[in-house]
Structure 1
Amino acid sequence: MKIRLVSDGVFNPIDDIQTTLTAPPAGFYWIDADVDDLALLQPLFSLHDLAVEDCLSEEEQRPKIEIYESHYFIVVNSIRFDDEEIFLRSLNVFLGRHYIITVTKQKIHELRSLKPILWEQEVNTPDRFLYLLIDLVVDNYFTVSDRIEAKIEKLEEDILMHTKKSHLNEIIGLRSEILWLKKVLGPQKELINTLNKRDLRLIDDQLQKYFSDIYENAVKISETFDTFRDLMGNLREAYQSSIANRANEIMRVFTAITTIFMPLTVITGIYGMNFDNIPELHWKYSYFTVIGVMVVLAISMVLIFRKKDWI
């Protein structure tokens, strides 16, 4: 657990957690904790039992805001994409009048990225800290959406150029990830809309208006993933069409080969009959003549098929 006094964006480490129970002369306290620290933090800050239970739960939490007497409990989902799977990590926030507590189970990139922004903007209140944090979380969705879009474009190109059976597994896997993420974006969008429109005493009225910009970005993200869902459906159709076209190409080649061998089979069948009076049977050039006719016939058919673009 790390405790910092943040004043005008400047960080000052605090060793004694008892210090954080009263408001500082300037700035606010940021307590960066993990779930194991809640046993100490809950009695000190009177954190609600249900909020603490949500933090400790192994189940995935929906983005939400819970309003209690002395603090707000806010859950947002940070996103990470490693080119194979999309991961969502819950970021639990307790917002008080003079403090903000962030509780995570894993490392959250946005928390590390936030520090220079706090210093640059000389942040002095916990509600502005919350605003900048949620803004970073939503902005990261744009970064992930760009990577997903690039992956979809590459997958489409691979399917059109060289279709493989593994492409279907990639399509199904990525589509399921997008659909799952789309369901998560709905509650997160509602959370940001609540921060934007609801009367919240721990968030300054002037600052609250800025949440409308984050809400617009959340709407754009949701629409982008709607587009991705449609694109994945188109990719699946393209894959099926490519497989069908390749099967047709193979069948066309096999049909052409069969057609070429049909007259050759007739000739060999005739000269394979056990009759004495077959024309040119006892002629010394009969074998070479028949072979030559068969070769010329086969080459002629190949040339005709190629001219007609059948093979």
Structure 2
Amino acid sequence: MTIFALKGSLEEITPAQLSEQTCSAVFITDSAHAEETLRTANITYEGVISLRDVVFCKIESQPFCLAGTLSIPKLLDIKGSRHRIQFFIDNKNMVIIDDEEFSLRLVQRIQRSRHNQGESREHFIYNFFSEFMLSDTELLAEHEQKLMELEENVNDGKTDDFLETITPIRKELLILRSYYDEIMDLGRELEEDENGFFEKKQKKYFGTISDRADRLMGRTVHLLEYATQVRDAYQSHVNAQQNKNMEFLTVISTIFFPLTLITGWYGMNFQNMPELKEGYPGVIALSVIVVIVCIIFFKRKKML
């Protein structure tokens, strides 16, 4: 269990020093010590603590606290496992439960990079959410660049491995869209403050969280639409290529159709046909002439 006192800066304190503090505190622990930490923070939670059951970002009002969960995609493997966190907030303290020490690393990053690290629970929550969403804009920019490269390749006729490349991008964008939607709803729930745990003038931080998630979701939706346009362009290219192939086969069939007629006609072998004895070279010449005429015709029509 790690305890940080909220004094403008995040000051790490021991449990023995906790009773001397009048300010709010943030407790970070793992699921094995969750109940003990909640007791130390004087937070009463009526429910089961299980990080394995965390699949969404959400928050709910309990009689004596706010209970929330965070299911944060790992940026290096969005379709894979997630950072799973439970958190509890009352009118003074906040407890974060995390078995991977991801939350502790976020707090340490806040300590290193932010001058105002959290003078209140509201400001700390804003810093905490902002920190794990910090690289999302860069991630979406990378996806946009990949889609632009795919579009250029389609325009240049380079469509090898197109579906294998765009399908994972679309799946990741769909996951991120749902994730940002959940964060946006969570921020709004915090801003509504059904239990009255937060100061009115401090609730602006939660609105900022919702706005940031809303912007990220908007950009994600834009990229999904762009991915659809790129895929449509690819499908148009494939259809055009198939039409070319069908046109070529049609021309070839048209060229050789007269030859089929000639061979069928002279293959009847009627006894009174004058061509039976000396007509073989003439039929060959006729066939060659027909093929040449057809080729010249289709060349002029730019169909060959």
Q: TM-score, normalised by structure 2?
A: 0.73
Match of 1:44 among 40, 43, 46: 40
Question: 1:145 & 1:106 partners in 2: Cα distance?
Answer: 25
Q: What RMSD in Å do the two structures reach over aligned CA positions?
A: 4.1
Match of 2:16 among 16, 19, 32: 19
Deviation at 1:253, TM superposition (A): 1.5
Deviation at 1:245, TM superposition (A): 3.0
Greater shift, 35-44 or 147-156, is seen at: 147-156
**CA gap 1:138/1:282 in 2 versus in 1, 3 angstroms:** same
**CA gap 1:224/1:20 in 2 versus in 1, 3 angstroms:** farther
Question: 1:96 & 1:84 partners in 2: Cα distance?
Answer: 32
Question: 2:93 & 2:220 partners in 1: Cα distance?
Answer: 35
Deviation at 1:256, TM superposition (A): 1.0
Deviation at 1:259, TM superposition (A): 0.8
Deviation at 1:217, TM superposition (A): 1.9
Aligned residue identity for 2:96: T
Q: Could you tell me which residue of structure 1 aligns to residue 111 of structure 2?
A: 118
Unaligned runs of 5+ in 1: none
Question: 1:143 & 1:111 partners in 2: Cα distance?
Answer: 23
Deviation at 1:134, TM superposition (A): 1.2
Question: 1:84 & 1:57 partners in 2: Cα distance?
Answer: 18
Question: 1:251 & 1:303 partners in 2: Cα distance?
Answer: 20
Q: Could you tell me which residue of structure 1 aligns to residue 83 of structure 2?
A: 89
Question: 1:41 & 1:151 partners in 2: Cα distance?
Answer: 45
Question: 1:21 & 1:29 partners in 2: Cα distance?
Answer: 8
Identical-residue share of aligned pairs (%): 20
Match of 1:210 among 180, 205, 209: 205
- Is 1:302 paired with 2:295? yes
Deviation at 1:64, TM superposition (A): 1.7
Deviation at 1:132, TM superposition (A): 0.6
Deviation at 1:157, TM superposition (A): 4.8
Contact 1:33 1:103 in 2 (8 A): yes
Aligned residue identity for 2:242: A
Contact 2:181 2:214 in 1 (8 A): no
- Is 1:102 paired with 2:99? no
Task: For residue 216 of structure 1, give the secondary structure of its aligned residue in structure 2.
Answer: helix
Q: Superposition pairs for residues 202-281 of structure 1, below 5 Å?
A: 203-235=198-230, 237-275=232-270, 277-279=273-275, 281=277
- Is 1:190 paired with 2:185? yes
Unaligned runs of 5+ in 2: none
Match of 1:129 among 124, 144, 149: 124
After superposition, give the CA deviation of every residue in 1:236-288 in whole Å (9 maximum; x if it has no partner): 544554443333222211111101111232333445453565449538xx64x
Q: Could you tell me which residue of structure 2 aligns to residue 35 of structure 1?
A: 31
Task: For residue 53 of structure 2, give the secondary structure of its aligned residue in structure 1.
Answer: coil
Task: For residue 274 of structure 1, give the secondary structure of its aligned residue in structure 2.
Answer: coil
Aligned residue identity for 1:92: Q
Task: For residue 85 of structure 2, give the secondary structure of its aligned residue in structure 1.
Answer: strand
Task: For residue 85 of structure 1, give the secondary structure of its aligned residue in structure 2.
Answer: strand
